[in-house]
Structure 1
């Protein structure tokens, strides 16, 4: 009787299965159905499974995928439900270098979302959406299980799962490395019955046969891409539990698959060293260098290119103002970032920020210019320096060029004035400038420059100047409508300072209140420092 009861329980659980289709663009043979995932019970023992991704399913890194609501017959999705679907789907693109752009794109959308009751929940896998066999008049994803009455937990788990498919993730129970020991006779017996009523060939395609083309992470029984299946369906009694959250491994793996351009927080402040118990001499200005090793997560495939600049300067008035932001020892895994001074200058503190890009990324080109390439430090006969920069690869149109300060060396007894900017921007070159003015003396200056296509949809830059005589500035900058479909990454740099001598040189810039629509930028001084003006550059990308 115990065995009969166990079989009855198994049959009951199997009869409650919901099928999520990994849709495949093959419609000539009805038996060539999509690979499917099983949802049985939530109280099964856990077993090994993992996030797996078909290598031929990947989208291009940084690609913006248009998502629209399918308007065909039988739609049941309310505006409120669509709002929830969008909200939870955006959790994926917040984690990786893919942009999900929801809009009224109709048949031009790569992902077309339907709400057809009775058709289950399913999605094409990654770039299968673009297969010629997939008609543009048809949906590429369906939420047949969701309704206004569905809980947020259920909506979120189903949406994350299906959009995981849309990004290229396959069902983990079909990963060839999982090695699930199916009880094939029982699986075939149960799935031959209603509500599935599948043929043996269909059962093998959906459940028993592994997907041969995949890349995968270490086994992860908590993956959102693994639904529960009953232990009785296996020979070793190991099933899996139901998962409704992105696991830590899901998050780590999708970042490796679609790695963000920035692999770290892009900011270093010498105050961090003091806060971490570093040398107290930094606070007193006796330490000449603040250095930190920055780890890239995930690592780059090769040492990246990096453009670095100054974001905060705090120096004593009683010596020349010499400070630099530098980056060296760059590898695929890490880089060393420093804010330093030299000679008799006294640095109380400073901050650097930077932008990084893959070495193979031809859209982003970086470089530097130092006035000492043209004249010695003690040659102060000219207040201006300029150089024509030729791009390693010419652009199709004049690109956007951002220039920021990375080193200044100013005479102490004259006002602290220096600026950097670009002019004469062409497809293959531009002119970079580092100037001072009035009675100021600039012994040396250096600037980093960044160039990218002016029509690059996922990037934006801007330059601002504070109002004269204002010690603290906070202003809102709104991005152009629809520029970003998610919150961008932002870096903020100094490109100009004009401060009266006789007081400490104190200036900092940063951005906050960042959304996909805009940000607040700041440029502040403090204590007795007399700021005439400051210039700020921002670079944003998503």
Structure 2
């Protein structure tokens, strides 16, 4: 009996996962700052340490070279035709080449199996191997089949996953039939099928907030693969949700990423004491601006004290250098930060600064609570809005890691900042940046959120998601959003792993995510955000 003709979403080989994570972030830093991807499960079925929450989208504006390795002239023409359907909505260009290097390499055969690697995962595949396969296209293939199969596979190449792995999809799989199919076509064992077919991505990893039955990315499967005989065919063209998603993922003007992650300059498994890069401002300032820095990603070994410092230096009117360092015997696998830049003029609405517990007492004389009154350089006409971001931590390894930064007593001329710990934590030092602006300033909103908004601290979980609504009428278009940590409470039994991200950003609000991975126990964490247009 002929095997059904269905698509396979190809996983990165486990030995190349570190490379995939690193290349994804180097290609598009938003892959770590905005998109949270699901865990990668090893062949043994357990979540591996290599499974970082990394997205796989290309940099907007990118030209992707496509080399079609074989196939008739008609099939080659159809591949070009339907691949370019995506470019009508995405700020991506496909350049079809006959020789030289190519990010996407397309094979056409009669194997009966069509598949593709996902987004930037293609960069990890050796140049002599193909990254996409069409296993049943012939010159007599119906036009609607060319449309649905080619458009679907190039959706994978742009970073879209199978819609059947949306958390909203409820498909009654006949697992034995599915295991049998993938053993015959891919030589996958049950654990690999569980990972790549049955595993649902978290709500932040799918391209849609709800299951879209009209999506071109809907996985087509026959009734023999379900327990109740239900089946789906391939959709033939992009749905409206497909179009809006891909336009948002690849906007006409690429987003300025005011952020840095150490994996932009090195893999996580090659830790160093210092990491840095130059950050160019999107526009030139009249004088060197002020920059507030906040941590939004941490992956630190529990074998020594928790030590991390995110900061900028060499600030000019056009650029700055952003650093994330550690010191002494700490192993910093990876870390990330956000940057908010404000003009330094005397009449600027935004004022920024920072406070360290070492401004109050030496690091070797730790205390539980530290507070300081901050006086604004320029007083406001009324109490402003103020947010705080943690950017430097030094905590003992042998107790849980607990720290929070808050503000109180906000007045027109200043406020009180607090950096505290609790329980038996030893907080040697911490630093927090602050950002202030007029409470009635149009086009700006800010706030904070916490895992404790959705669950108690003593019910830890890896993935935490909530909704932050912006004030009514604050925005008429989706704003830029910067988020960074203001609190954490994590067990010291395992490594400290924490990541912030946001998605579904619109003029009304955003979905926030505070996540960990592998075996970290995340009791609670909180963040502050600033949104602006």
- Using the size of structure 2 for normalisation, the TM-score is 0.50
Alpha-carbon shift at residue 315 of structure 1 (Å): 0.2
CA distance in 2, matches of 1:449, 1:283: 32
Give the C-alpha shift of residue 480 in structure 1. 2.3
1:435 is the counterpart of 2:426: no
Question: Does 2:275 match 1:267?
Answer: no
Quote the Cα distance in structure 2 between the aligned partners of 1:302 and 1:264.
20
**What SS does structure 2 have at the residue aligned with 1:292?**
strand
TM-fit CA distance, 1:493: 0.4
Distance 2:284 2:256 in 1: 10
Equivalent position to 1:359, from 330, 334, 344: 344
Classify the secondary structure of the residue corresponding to 1:486: coil
How much has 1:318 moved relative to structure 2? 0.4
SS at match of 1:372: helix
Equivalent of 2:269, from 283, 288, 294?
Answer: 283
> CA offsets per residue over residues 280-331 of structure 1, 9 Å max, x none?
5x5232x011101001232222211111110001000100000011011000
User: Is the Cα contact below 8 Å between 2:342 and 2:352 reproduced in 1?
Assistant: no
Q: Which residue of 2 aligns with 1:302?
A: 287
For 1:153-232, list aligned pairs within 5 A: none
Contact 2:309 2:326 (8 Å CA) reproduced: yes
The equivalent of 1:149 in structure 2 is none
**Which whole-Å CA distance do the structure 2 matches of 1:461 and 1:296 have between them?**
22
Hey, what's the Cα distance between the residues in 1 that align with 2:439 and 2:485? Answer: 21
Residue 536 of structure 1, CA deviation: 1.0
Partners of 2:343 and 2:273 lie apart in 1 by 31
CA distance in 1, matches of 2:461, 2:261: 24
- Offset at 1:429? 1.0
Residue of structure 1 in register with 2:496 after alignment: 505
Alignment equivalent of 1:330, drawn from 311, 315, 330? 315
State the secondary structure of the residue aligned to 2:410: coil
**RMSD of aligned C-alpha atoms?**
1.7
Distance 2:435 2:278 in 1: 23
1:378 has 2:370 as partner:
no
The alignment status of 1:464 with 2:455, answered yes or no, reads: no
Structure 2 matches for 1:406-445, cutoff 5 A? 406-445=391-430
- Indicate whether 1:525 and 2:516 are aligned: yes
Contact 1:263 1:298 in 2 (8 A): no
> 2:281 & 2:450 partners in 1: Cα distance?
32
Distance 2:521 2:425 in 1: 15
Q: Distance in 2 between matches of 1:400 and 1:478?
A: 16
SS in 2 for 1:494: strand
Bigger radius of gyration, 1 or 2? 1
Match of 2:386 in 1: 401
Residue correspondence of structure 1 range 137-148 to structure 2 within 5 A: none
How far residue 497 of structure 1 moved from its aligned partner, in angstroms, is 0.3
* Inter-CA distance 515–263: structure 2 relative to 1 (3 Å threshold): closer
**Matches of 1:363 and 1:399, distance apart in 2:** 10
Q: Deviations over 1:4-32 (max 9, x none)?
A: xxxxxxxxxxxxxxxxxxxxxxxxxxxxx
| Runs of 5+ unmatched residues, structure 2 | 1-252
**Which residue is 2:36 aligned to?**
none
1:390 aligns with 2:382: no
Give the ranges of 4+ consecutive aligned residues of structure 1 lying more than 4 Å apart after TM superposition.
none
Q: Deviations over 1:17-63 (max 9, x none)?
A: xxxxxxxxxxxxxxxxxxxxxxxxxxxxxxxxxxxxxxxxxxxxxxx
TM (norm. structure 1) is 0.49
Q: CA deviation at 1:478?
A: 2.1
Which whole-Å CA distance do the structure 1 matches of 2:256 and 2:284 have between them?
10
1:263, distance to aligned residue in structure 2 (A): 9.6
CA distance in 1, matches of 2:370, 2:443: 33
Whole-Å separation in 2 of the counterparts to 1:399 and 1:439: 35
Question: Hey, what's the Cα distance between the residues in 1 that align with 2:470 and 2:415?
Answer: 26
Give runs of aligned pairs for residues 9-158 of structure 1, distance below 5 A. none
Deviation digits for residues 487-532 of structure 1 (CA, Å, limit 9, x no counterpart)? 1111010000000111100011111211112111110011110011
Q: Does the 8 A contact of 2:368 with 2:427 survive in 1?
A: yes
Secondary structure at the aligned position of 1:271 is classed as helix
How do residues 235-246 of structure 1 correspond to structure 2 at under 5 angstroms?
A: none
